Amino acid sequence: MSPVQLFRNTILVAAILAGGPNLSVASAETEIRVGVYNFPPIASIKEGNHVTGLLADTLERVGEAHQDIRFRIIHTSPQRRHLDFEAGLYDVIFFESPEWGWRKYEFNATMPILTDEDVYLALKKPDRDLSFFDDVSKRHIVAISGYHYGFADLETNNAELEKRFNIEFSDSHRRNINLIKADRPSVAEVAIVSRAYLQKYLERHPEDWDTFLVSEVPDQSYRLSIITHPDAPVDAKDMIRLFEPLMESGQYRLLVEQWGLQLPPNFLTSFPYRSTQAD
């Protein structure tokens, strides 16, 4: 039996057990509610709550491979995502690190399926070198509210961070980069952006290649998984099975590369779809 058939049969059996003799034909389609917040280039929320980025492309490809699966986007925010998850407002959230505030909640997580890192960004000046980033706690920092940062020990409480650092919050990497470019050191000396976002930004704005000083040592490196709710219609193993056609065809690897992101080390050789096929 193929992994896709196995997954479909598992869902159908679960539906029969839950619904008994009154099961309708519509139960054969499974809806998965996906929590989404602005996290470019993984997920960018555009006008009208339209989602673009790696997440949107991945959901589209998975949906094409599994006609009995339907994804529904549930908008949340970096600050609200844990509480919305605990309240059962969505079933899964893609591309999260379990270390980003999830340990206090009941959840399941897949193996890491993506990796990236955050870097420090400052305005390049003649008297400024990489030692400028040696102690960013002494700098005026601009950051995204609700994001987890290494320099802050992954703390996300704005009030607590404002006590510890000279820090300003926004909900836009672009705004933070513009603050750095504006050369307003009393407001913004250092921004923290993901390496993938910075790469995409510089592709669109090649004139800024020599504008910034970028840290060689990251603020943090992270390995991202899919997190599933205990009461969701799918668990972490099911989500990995859904990925199998994209892995076999190479589509997922290409999507990751297109968005300037990276697969975890040894991911292509350790992905479990081959062993799953033998079940």
pTM of the predicted model as reported, rounded to 2 decimal places: 0.85
The three-state secondary structure class of 152 is coil
Closest among 113, 123, 132 to 217, alpha carbons compared: 132
* Angstrom distance (rounded) from CA 185 to CA 42: 30
By CB atoms closer than 10 A (0-12, 13-18, 19+), residue 207 is exposed
- Give the CATH class of 3-115+222-269: alpha beta
Q: Which two tokens stand for residue 130?
A: 């990489």
pLDDT of res. 10: 40
Do 184 and 178 touch, CB atoms closer than 8 A?
no
* Domain 116-220 fold: D-Maltodextrin-Binding Protein; domain 2 (3.40.190)
Spell out the per-residue pLDDT of the chain, length 279, in tens.
444 444 444 443 333 333 433 333 334 689 999 999 999 999 999 888 899 999 999 999 999 999 999 999 999 999 999 999 999 999 999 999 999 999 999 999 999 999 999 999 999 999 999 999 999 999 999 999 999 999 999 999 999 999 999 999 999 999 999 999 999 999 999 999 999 999 999 999 999 999 999 999 999 999 999 999 999 999 999 999 999 999 999 999 999 999 999 999 988 877 765 433 333
pLDDT of res. 189: 97
pLDDT of res. 29: 86
DSSP code string of 232-261 = SSS-HHHHHHHHHHHHHHTHHHHHHHHTT-
Residues of the chain with CATH 3.40.190.10: 3-115+222-269, 116-220
- Length of the chain equals 279
The alpha carbon of residue 183 and the mean position of all alpha carbons in its chain are separated, in whole angstroms, by 30
pLDDT of res. 28: 66
DSSP code string of 108-122 = EEPSP-EEEEEEEEE
Instruction: State which H helix or E strand residue 81 sits in.
Output: helix 81-86
Closest among 200, 17, 222 to 118, alpha carbons compared: 222
Burial 62-91, CB ≥16 within 10 A → b, else e:
beebbeebebebbebbbeebbebbeeebbb
Do 88 and 204 touch, CB atoms closer than 8 A?
no
The three-state secondary structure class of 3 is helix
